Amino acid sequence: MKKIIGKRMFTIFLTLAIIVTMIPMMAFAGEATNLEWYNFRNNAENNGVVNKTTPVSADTASLKWSNKYGTGWSAAPTPPLIIDGYIYVGMSNKVVKIDKNTGDKVAESDEMVANVGFAMNPITYADGKFFVQVGNGMIQAIDYETLKCVWHTEKIGGQTVSPISYTKINGKGYIYIGTWKSESNDGALLCISTDDSNVDENKIKKTEWRFIPSGKTDTLQNIVYNDTPVTCDEEIRDAVDDGTASRRGFYWAGAYACEKFIAIGSDDGTREGDYQANACFYTINPKTGEIIDKIGGIKGDIRTTVVYDKGNLYFCTKGGLVYRVPVDENGKLGQAKVVDMGGMITASPVVYNGRIYVGVAGTGGQFNPDGGHVFAVIDSESMTRLHDLPIKGYPQASALLSTAYENEDFDGDGKADGRVYIYFTYNAKPGGIYYTYDAKDEANIAKESGNLFIPESSLQNYCISTICTDSDGTLYYKNDSCYLMAVQNNVAYISDMTVAGAKSWSKAFAPGVTNYEVVLEAGTKSTNVKLALPLEVKATVDGENYDANKGVDVALDNEGKASVDIVATADGGSTTYTVDLRCEGTDSSLKNLYISGSNIFGEGQYALSPSFEADKTDYTVDVQKIEKNFYNIWPEISDENASVKVYPVENVNPSEINSEGTINIASSIEGHDRYAVYPKDKSKNCKVRVEVTSERGQEVTSYNVSFVKDKSSVFDKQNQGDKNTTVKIDNVKSDLVKTGDNSNLTIWIIVLVLVLATLVLVYRKARQENRRDKSTSNSQS
């Protein structure tokens, strides 16, 4: 009996041991472990404060990589998350996993039920899943480990363009997001559990509750679960019923969420630009959706996410107001303090050490770079405006603040300066990153903001992206070019560089830009490169130590080209600069010339006579049988740095000629420029001149193209001169052969008569032969 009990006890203990050892695996299976950036501002408070060693000047900010994800501002990637060493963005109808070190795509998710649309805010990671704002008021859940779509919420309609908030209540995860349909239509604040409960056979997840300010459900679409609780603001409901208020929703308005309450602001229910005191700020029970407390009569849409800091809630409005509202642990609101900034605000504020940092639109127009936009600093205790930092563009997205340098002594007085560095984007070209620094000590306040990073031309566009950072202090963001960019902090840099005899640089030298093309005068055999290096930075040029006294001499090859690799090193880090040198081009030839009737390159080509050769400059195109309003010319230059202009010569429609006397480029397809030539009279010949100028500008080659509609006029022009001049028949024959001329009617009639007579003789002879054959055959039979 004891043996049996012992065996049973052993079995029980073994089972318990297995269960205990499995608990961590079950609890953490499929979940991320290194959350470098996991939601809107990388914390539950929605406050963009970090302690990472971000770049502190334009000299140390360099582009690590850039990669394009998506096309056009309406199909762009979301601002990124950084988890377990990878970047994650929503793009179109997928989530994309990206290598943090290279920017290259590693994997992508299943196709989601809808796409991310304008991709204004980052997705959210929580409890082993990504939660993605997709169209029609839906949230898509994707498994973190497999990138498989798990479930999505009901398609209730509207936009989901706000950040997603997350909290745990009694150990269970919940997310919150608002929807928006129009300025005066209903939106809904949704509560959704993060687990896989309440999901039907179509993978549609039931929401825990919906808060709709007006309480109306008539505009909700495709409802699957009719028993979902709906809560409302009874005052708004009654005002909507009696016509004294309009419906409203939630746009860019993220919630602050904790176990006892969530806090969120609504639109004001009035049309765009008409900022009335109708918006509301709520604290809401996170489990039931019932209102805990409320502030009404707020001027302008609340289009910012709510920030929590030390017992206070902060938010801003499009009516230009910044609010600080005390809140207790149960969500009861205290007396609000307000400062009027005089301009629209959509950027969620950053709050740190008694200061509020926020972007404010100027009165000169939202999209006007010179509209008077500022980045403002506010004292959070007195709610007074301390100072403004002018900026060329509206700072429309929340800023990032780094505390990593607070203990640094920048001014050399032996004391820590207390500087914090702030980074923000702006909704104007070139769509780079601005920065400033601030401190409680007046002497360490930056009076102006400046460019930290300016993307090169192909990466430039408008920008409403937030900025995030990883543990190394590299900054990540995107703009409307659809390029995702990583801007690293680099202490190994070159301050300046000069190249003797340089006529032009592909871009102005900047320490953070590492690739250049430098053009020298034609015929240059060698040049000298000199560097300016900060203290403690050393450099090698093509593997040889750089001599600051001499610089480095670089010889060009027989083609007038050279490439130089310069490596700057400091504190164990290094940066490689590549400089491509070449002489300016002297080639003014075409490598090909295409004529066509199609606007698509390579299609519908017309034959050139003679066939194209670079050293032949006169061509004709037979268009007698072609009925077109215009002809297309596609010149291809031998030297890509040369330039082309097309000039009208004869019978070109004046309305198609610009003020410079040239024909404009009609379109450019994959680098192929198309010039459309419109004849003034479609029944007559037309002629243009294609002029190629070398890069140096001293060599010019002209190619003449005649579109021949009436060959007789070509013949006449070839033989025009003194009316008494007798043209030799040999010349006429030669011209006929060259041009296919049919103007000499007499010759052609004679030739035709001779041909017909010959045919008649041949026919008669054939009939005679046939008759003889039949006669012979009859006699034999």
Region at 166 (left for phi over 0; alpha for psi -120 to 50; beta for the rest): beta
pLDDT tens for each residue of 159-172: 999 999 999 999 99
Least confident range from 29-43, 63-77, 622-636, 767-781: namely 767-781
In angstroms, rounded to a whole number, what is the distance separating the alpha carbons of residues 575 and 255?
Answer: 42
What 3-state class would DSSP assign to 726? coil
DSSP label at residue 547: -
pLDDT tens for each residue of 310-340: 999 999 999 999 999 999 999 999 999 999 9
**pLDDT band for position 13 (50/70/90)?**
very low
What is the enclosing helix (H) or strand (E) of 581?
strand 573-583
CA atoms within 13 A on the CB side of 746: 1
pLDDT tens for each residue of 394-439: 999 999 999 999 999 988 889 999 999 999 999 999 999 999 999 9
Residue 383: predicted pLDDT: 98
pLDDT tens for each residue of 680-737: 999 999 999 999 999 999 999 999 999 999 776 554 444 444 333 333 333 333 333 3
Strands (E), 236-343: 256-257, 262-265, 277-284, 291-299, 307-309, 312-316, 321-326, 337-340
Which residue would you say has higher pLDDT here, 130 or 26? 130
Bridge partner list, 177: 190
In angstroms, rounded to a whole number, what is the distance separating the alpha carbons of residues 189 and 86?
Answer: 31
In angstroms, rounded to a whole number, what is the distance separating the alpha carbons of residues 582 and 217?
Answer: 69
Residue 775: predicted pLDDT: 47
Of the segments 82-96, 707-721, 731-745, which one has the largest average pLDDT value?
82-96
Exposed, middle or buried, 319 (CB in 10 Å: 0-12/13-18/19+)? Answer: buried
**Nearest residue to 74 via CA among 485, 432, 466, 462:** 462
In angstroms, rounded to a whole number, what is the distance separating the alpha carbons of residues 401 and 19?
Answer: 45
What is the enclosing helix (H) or strand (E) of 620?
strand 618-622
pLDDT tens for each residue of 439-449: 988 777 887 78
Whether residue 266 contacts residue 279, with contact meaning beta carbons closer than 8 Å, is answered with: yes
Q: What is the mean pLDDT of residues 83-88?
A: 98
This prediction has a pTM of: 0.77
Residues with Cβ within 8 Å of residue 668, at least 6 apart in sequence = 674
Residue 110: predicted pLDDT: 95
